[in-house]
């Protein structure tokens, strides 16, 4: 089997990130072998200077157009890049990215202002998603980043996030400590 052709066909048809495990199952090879094929395929796209590239997004993989062709893509398809994120949206996104999964309440404690609209906006843009409900009174939702977040910021995984400055880490520790003082005991049940 021509694995490069099969990978390209599957990823093109999917049009969205695909789990590497699922791709491996479709190719009928072990996940490690699929990952090797994907790496080699990505390198061949780079070497041949193709208009597409392979993105690794944690345990997902996706084909994407190279950024240098954005003007041509926009001209032909009438696609418009979204408006840049506001400073409030970037702030909320960074809080979620570095501390996920987190509640809106946690984001608001760190920022010191109401952030519900900003969180909802980031969900609509597909940069964050609802994760799960906490087992505490009120059962608040938690939020985490999406593969779209990784792609939008050119990251392969959350491990690629730059380290936070010490001053920011100290501030967030204070908020975490304060929020833990307000949470119910661990043996709380419904």
The residue among 153, 47, 164, 54 whose CA lies nearest residue 98 is: 164
Q: What confidence tens digit (pLDDT) does each residue in 115-147 have?
A: 999 999 999 988 999 999 988 888 999 999 998
Give, as one character, the DSSP assignment of residue 69: G
Query: What CATH fold (topology level) applies to the domain 87-182?
Result: Arc Repressor Mutant, subunit A (1.10.10)
161 SS3 class: coil
Q: What confidence tens digit (pLDDT) does each residue in 143-169 have?
A: 999 988 888 888 888 888 998 888 766
18 SS3 class: strand
Strands 52-57 and 128-133: unpaired
Q: For residue 117, count CB atoms less than 10 angstroms from its CB and return exposed for 0-12, middle for 13-18, buried for 19 or more.
A: exposed
Give, as one character, the DSSP assignment of residue 15: -
Predicted local confidence at residue 188, as pLDDT: 47
Q: What is the CATH number of domain 3-77?
A: 1.10.10.10
CATH topology match: 3-77 vs 87-182: yes
């Amino acid at each position: 089997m021509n694995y490069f052709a099969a990978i390209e066909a599957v990823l093109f048809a999917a049009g969205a990130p695909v789990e590497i495990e699922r791709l491996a199952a479709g190719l009928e090879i072990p996940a490690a072998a699929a990952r090797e094929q994907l790496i080699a395929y990505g390198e061949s796209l780079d070497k041949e200077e193709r208009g597409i590239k392979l993105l690794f997004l944690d345990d997902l993989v996706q084909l994407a157009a190279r950024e240098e062709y954005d003007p041509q893509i926009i001209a032909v398809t009438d696609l418009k890049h979204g408006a840049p994120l506001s400073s409030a949206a970037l702030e909320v996104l960074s809080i979620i990215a570095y501390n996920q999964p987190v509640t809106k309440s946690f984001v608001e404690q760190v920022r010191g202002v109401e952030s519900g609209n900003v969180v909802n906006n980031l969900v609509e843009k597909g940069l964050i998603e609802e994760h799960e409900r906490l087992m505490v009174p009120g059962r608040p939702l938690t939020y985490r980043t999406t593969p779209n977040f990784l792609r939008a910021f050119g990251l392969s995984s959350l491990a690629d996030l730059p380290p936070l400055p010490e001053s920011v880490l100290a501030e967030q520790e204070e908020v975490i400590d304060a929020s833990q003082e307000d949470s119910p005991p661990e043996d709380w049940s419904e």
